């Protein structure tokens, strides 16, 4: 069978497509897990943001797929709906399947779209079984984790338990299925690699728990090394490790670092997300090993520096500094210092605009980011489907926008008890642009040619909405912010 898998073109503020265009890890994994005689094409539409319609039309013509799959996050819902109707119009008989976080957690929305199947939760095995059933002309009735159209109605099969990742139930990704190119991170070809799935924490804003429960499963280090080697052989010189929380098992993480060095794969720039508590507690041994293995950027889920906010976000435990098993404070600064000492850069994930936030509490977080983090990744709390935080915000009547296309993390869609959503977003936006400038020199030192060729676009993105008048102080930040918001709105129209 011919199968076309699409990820959505929508990108967001902190990952400008000039500097960062990453492959979607889910689609290569799905491609690697269907029976090998099928012909599968993976197209990451972020690579063709301005030619979405024509690219889909071309691929549909060339491949003539019987099955079309879409991977969708919540803020990409509007684009996905347009793509579903485009595909339906181009080939009415195609079986259209949706999967990923939004179809899994808001499947009722997709039931009204006329799609043929909704894959809930992990998709590798479910999609393999779906393709087999299509090939044999069988019904989808026995496939766990699937909601499907039968006659005029949607049928919801039981959930599929998460995979333990043992054995070869889930095979390695098939990167050769990708039909578009141009993946980049600061000019270096980039790929994504998974080493584990899941997390045992329960931060209230995170979709992961609703998606798969609290659990943590790992692949063998040998499998991970083979996967990194595959990515490298296909040109990758930067790798984003997309694990939900690799730092849950520090000894395993250390073993992986050693294996990367032993396999001669330390010439790659690695980017990873980690918990401050693990880094603070084990940094003295872990951080030098990470650096030796090539880790360059560590995304730390700091979330907030104020205790009250951490309690609301249920992120206190993962940011706790412990001594002899007792919590003695917050691990954030210790974690940042140890990473810095070992030559790595900190991408600081913070969430501002929580229910009790005031101008002062937001300012405290912005001041912290300015002082400590290398690249700010500051977001607003966003009520994604199914998270405990969403329930909380709804009960407090603080959600100001139900338009999920705005749920991109940097558009404030909730207000606090003291500040309007617009004001919260303005405070973050105004401060964050300038913080980003400070990381300019390390980037120049590492990738001078890239910066030279793209300086104009990089600055253009960071300072969207500015004009020569604003630089000379002849118009207010508010006017620039209003222009930025208009640009952002227009950017969301991909087809
Ligand atoms: C890596 C990652 C990123 C990378 C993206 C790299 C890339 N190109 O994919 C970066 C850092 C850029 C990123 C950014 C953002 N991300 Co992000 N990200 C993740 C993360 C950590 C892992 C995703 C991943 O690759 N997993 C591995 C793959 C194999 O698993 P998977 O995606 O779940 O796919 C499986 C199933 O979902 C399913 N499936 C998926 N698609 C499809 C399609 C079909 C057809 C089928 C059948 C099945 C299927 O099968 C797959 C295999 O089992 C998750 C989860 C987390 N803990 O935080 C968040 C997560 C996906 N991100 C999220 C968000 C919100 C964002 C941002 C909007 C804001 C932010 N938080 O930074 C931006 C926007 C990204 C953009 N497009 O511009 C949310 C999504 C919530 C939601 N309801 O939509 C998550 C869940 C985190 C959270 N806050 O809860 N992200
Ligand atoms: S520690 Fe990270 S992955 Fe785990 S629940 Fe919290 S935000 Fe999600």
Contact of 491 with 76, CB cutoff 8 Å: no
- Alpha-carbon distance of 266 to 456, in angstroms, equals 31
Query: 450 alpha carbon to ligand 1 midpoint, in Å?
Result: 27
For residue 400, which phi and psi values (nearest 5 degrees)? -105, -10
What SS3 state is found at 147?
strand
Edge-to-edge strand ranges of the sheet holding 153-156: 39-44, 2-7, 67-71, 95-99, 117-119, 146-150, 153-156
Contact of 221 with 252, CB cutoff 8 Å: yes
- Alpha-carbon distance of 1 to 456, in angstroms, equals 45
How many angstroms separate the first and last alpha carbons of the chain? 28
- Find the residues whose C-beta lies inside 6 A of ligand 2: 199, 201-203, 206, 208, 244-245, 275, 301, 318
Instruction: Report the pLDDT value the prediction gives residue 329, as an integer from 0 to 100.
Output: 87
Contact of 303 with 276, CB cutoff 8 Å: no
Instruction: Report the pLDDT value the prediction gives residue 324, as an integer from 0 to 100.
Output: 79
- Alpha-carbon distance of 194 to 240, in angstroms, equals 9
Query: 350 alpha carbon to ligand 1 midpoint, in Å?
Result: 18
Nearest ligand for residue 278 CA: 2
- Report the nearest-CA residue for atom 8 of ligand 2: 206
Instruction: Report the pLDDT value the prediction gives residue 79, as an integer from 0 to 100.
Output: 98
Nearest atom within ligand 1 for CA of residue 98: 45
Nearest ligand for residue 272 CA: 1
Q: Which of 7, 100, 169 to mutate to test the pocket of ligand 1 (most atoms within 8 A of CB)?
A: 100
Query: 192 alpha carbon to ligand 1 midpoint, in Å?
Result: 12
Please choose, from the candidates 19, 21, 33, 198, the residue with its C-alpha nearest in 3D space to the C-alpha of residue 5.
Answer: 33
Q: Which two tokens stand for residue 376?
A: 């700010």
Query: 100 alpha carbon to ligand 1 midpoint, in Å?
Result: 7
Nearest ligand for residue 243 CA: 1
- Alpha-carbon distance of 391 to 480, in angstroms, equals 34
Q: Are strands 95-99 and 215-218 parallel, antiparallel or unpaired?
A: unpaired
Query: 84 alpha carbon to ligand 1 midpoint, in Å?
Result: 20
Only one residue has tokens 């101008």, namely 359
246: DSSP letter: G
- Find the residues whose C-beta lies inside 6 A of ligand 1: 5, 10-12, 15, 22-26, 29-30, 69-71, 73-75, 97, 99-102, 105, 119, 122-124, 127, 192, 194, 206-208, 242, 244, 384, 408-409
For residue 185, which phi and psi values (nearest 5 degrees)? -135, 110
pLDDT tens for the chain, 495 residues long, are 999 999 999 998 999 999 999 999 999 999 999 999 999 999 999 999 999 999 999 999 999 999 999 999 999 999 999 999 999 999 999 999 999 999 999 999 999 999 999 999 999 999 999 999 999 999 999 999 999 999 889 999 999 999 999 999 999 999 999 999 999 999 999 999 999 999 999 999 999 999 999 999 999 999 999 999 999 999 999 999 999 999 999 999 999 999 999 999 999 999 999 999 999 999 999 999 999 999 999 999 999 999 999 999 999 999 999 887 788 889 999 999 999 999 999 999 999 999 999 999 999 999 999 999 999 999 999 999 999 999 999 999 999 999 999 999 999 999 999 999 999 999 999 999 999 999 999 999 999 999 999 999 999 999 999 999 999 999 999 999 999 999 999 999 999
- Alpha-carbon distance of 16 to 464, in angstroms, equals 11
What Cα–Cα distance (Å) separates residue 223 from each residue in 63, 237, 315, 467? Answer: 31, 19, 31, 51
Query: 121 alpha carbon to ligand 1 midpoint, in Å?
Result: 12
Nearest atom within ligand 1 for CA of residue 23: 8
Nearest atom within ligand 2 for CA of residue 245: 3
- Report the nearest-CA residue for atom 1 of ligand 2: 201
- Alpha-carbon distance of 261 to 153, in angstroms, equals 54
Instruction: Report the pLDDT value the prediction gives residue 228, as an integer from 0 to 100.
Output: 98
- The burial class, CB within 10 Å (0-12 / 13-18 / 19+), for 137 is exposed
- Alpha-carbon distance of 288 to 295, in angstroms, equals 10
What SS3 state is found at 104?
helix
Query: 196 alpha carbon to ligand 2 midpoint, in Å?
Result: 13
Q: Which of 242, 297, 315, 461 to mutate to test the pocket of ligand 1 (most atoms within 8 A of CB)?
A: 242
Q: How many CA atoms lie within 13 A of 463 on its CB side?
A: 15
Contact of 230 with 253, CB cutoff 8 Å: no
Nearest atom within ligand 2 for CA of residue 314: 6
Q: Report CA dihedral (105, 108, 113, 115) to the nearest 10 degrees.
A: 70
Q: Which of 301, 389, 409 to mutate to test the pocket of ligand 2 (most atoms within 8 A of CB)?
A: 301
Q: Which of 206, 216, 409 to mutate to test the pocket of ligand 2 (most atoms within 8 A of CB)?
A: 206
Instruction: Report the pLDDT value the prediction gives residue 325, as an integer from 0 to 100.
Output: 79
Helical axes 421-437 vs 359-372, angle rounded to 10°: 10
Q: Is the dihedral of CA 124, 126, 129, 130 positive or negative?
A: negative
Contact of 266 with 307, CB cutoff 8 Å: no
């Amino acid at each position: 069978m011919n199968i076309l898998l699409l990820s959505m073109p929508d990108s967001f503020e902190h990952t400008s497509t000039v500097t960062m265009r990453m492959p979607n890890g889910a689609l290569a994994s799905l491609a690697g897990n269907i029976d090998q005689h099928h012909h599968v094409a993976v197209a990451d539409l972020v690579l063709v943001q301005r030619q979405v319609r024509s690219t889909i039309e071309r691929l549909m013509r060339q491949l003539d797929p019987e099955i079309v799959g879409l991977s969708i996050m919540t803020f990409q819902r509007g684009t996905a709906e347009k793509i579903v109707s485009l595909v339906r119009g181009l080939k009415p008989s195609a079986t259209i399947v949706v999967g990923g976080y939004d179809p899994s957690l808001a499947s009722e929305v997709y039931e009204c779209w006329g799609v043929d199947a909704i894959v809930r939760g992990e998709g590798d095995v479910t999609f393999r079984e779906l393709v087999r059933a299509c090939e044999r002309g069988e019904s989808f009735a026995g496939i766990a984790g699937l909601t499907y159209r039968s006659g005029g109605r949607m049928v919801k099969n039981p959930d599929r338990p998460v995979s333990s990742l043992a054995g070869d139930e889930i095979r390695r990704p098939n990167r050769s299925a990708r039909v578009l190119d141009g993946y980049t991170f600061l000019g270096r070809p980039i790929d994504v690699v998974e080493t584990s799935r899941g997390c045992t924490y329960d931060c209230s804003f995170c979709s992961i728990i609703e998606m798969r429960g609290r659990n943590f499963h790992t692949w063998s280090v040998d499998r991970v090394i083979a996967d990194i080697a595959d990515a490298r052989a296909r040109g990758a010189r930067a790798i984003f490790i997309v694990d939900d929380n690799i730092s849950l098992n520090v000894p395993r993480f250390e073993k992986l670092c050693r294996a990367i060095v032993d396999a001669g794969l330390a010439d790659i720039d690695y980017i990873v997300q980690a918990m401050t508590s693990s880094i603070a507690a084990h940094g003295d041994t872990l951080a030098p090993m990470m650096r030796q293995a090539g880790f360059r950027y560590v995304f730390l889920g700091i979330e907030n520096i104020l205790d009250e906010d951490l309690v609301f976000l249920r992120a206190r435990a993962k940011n706790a500094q412990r001594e002899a098993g007792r919590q003695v404070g917050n691990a954030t600064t210790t974690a940042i210092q140890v990473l810095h000492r070992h030559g790595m850069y900190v991408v600081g994930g913070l969430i501002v605009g929580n229910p009790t936030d005031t101008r002062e509490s937001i300012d405290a977080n912005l001041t912290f980011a300015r002082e400590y983090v290398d690249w700010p990744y500051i977001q607003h709390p966003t009520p994604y489907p199914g998270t405990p935080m969403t329930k909380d915000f709804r009960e407090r009547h603080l959600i100001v926008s139900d338009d999920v296309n705005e749920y991109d993390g940097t558009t404030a869609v909730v207000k606090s008890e003291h500040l309007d959503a617009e004001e919260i977003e303005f405070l973050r936006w105004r401060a964050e642009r300038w913080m980003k400038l400070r990381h300019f020199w390390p980037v120049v030192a590492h990738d001078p040619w890239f910066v030279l060729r793209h300086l104009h676009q990089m600055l253009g993105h960071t300072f969207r909405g500015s004009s020569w008048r604003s630089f000379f102080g002849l118009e207010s930040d508010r006017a620039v912010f209003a222009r930025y918001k208009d640009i952002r709105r227009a950017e969301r129209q991909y087809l």
